[in-house]
Amino acid sequence: MDAEAIKRSLEGSGLRCTPQRYAVIEFLMEHNRHPTAAEIFEAVNRVDPRSSRATTYNNLRDLVQAGLVREVAVEGRAARFDAKGMRHHHFICDRCGNVEDIEWYDVPRPASGSLGQRILRECELIFRGLCTKCATRHASR
């Protein structure tokens, strides 16, 4: 996705395309590493230091609300973020907390009876276990 397309998707969500906001979503689209807010803050300030911590958090919140970015809560660790490109599932490592993409496949929805009056927005499938690096280290001990 090029600069113009990012700009359009921001404005299509009613968000101004500010340098700080653009830097956040551009960074997320270039990396599929699921960085934390702190990592994003550092990364965008390494290039051109002009975004405060509050702005980074504000923009992440706005981008999540606009549906352009996904937040992944990880137990006992800082939240992680990724740009919502192609649909995919997530694998979260028990040991190191890293979040990795897993190829998407369809998930059966619950019977409407078990949902009751609730309004379902999305089903999220999360896999847990040991990532490749931790599994290798685990085996050799």
Partner DNA sequence: ATGTCACATTAGATATAATCTAAATTCTTG
Partner DNA sequence: CAAGAATTTAGATTATATCTAATGTGACAT
Residue nearer to DNA on the CB measure, 7 or 88: 7
How many angstroms separate the CA atoms of 17 and 67, rounded? 15
Q: What are 122's two structure tokens?
A: 């999305």
Is residue 47 part of the contact set for a copy of itself (CB under 8 A)? Answer: no
125, amino acid identity: L
Q: How far is the CB of 43 from a copy of itself (least distance, A)?
A: 21
Q: Which stretch binds Mn ion (CB under 5 A): 4-12, 48-56, 96-104, 111-119?
A: 96-104
Q: Assess contact for 75 and 95: CB atoms under 8 A.
A: no
Under the binding rule (CB under 8 A), the answer on residue 114 touching a copy of itself is yes
Query: Under the criterion CB under 8 A, does residue 123 sit at the interface with a copy of itself?
Result: yes
CB nearer to a copy of itself: pick between 15 and 64: 64
- Decide which of Zn ion, DNA, a copy of itself, none touches 122; Cβ closer than 5 to 8 Å per partner kind: a copy of itself
- Taking alpha carbons only, the member of 1, 94, 78 closest to residue 34 is 78
Q: Can you give the binding site for DNA, defined by CB under 7 A?
A: 15-16, 18-21, 36-38, 50-55, 57-59, 61-62, 76-79
Of these partners, Zn ion, DNA, a copy of itself, none, which one is at the site of residue 111 (CB under 5 to 8 Å by kind)?
A: a copy of itself
- DSSP annotation of 36 reads B
Print the SS3 string covering 66-108. CCCEEEECCCCCCCEEEECCCCEEEEEECCCCCEEEEECCCCC
The binding site for Mn ion (CB under 5 A) comprises 82, 101
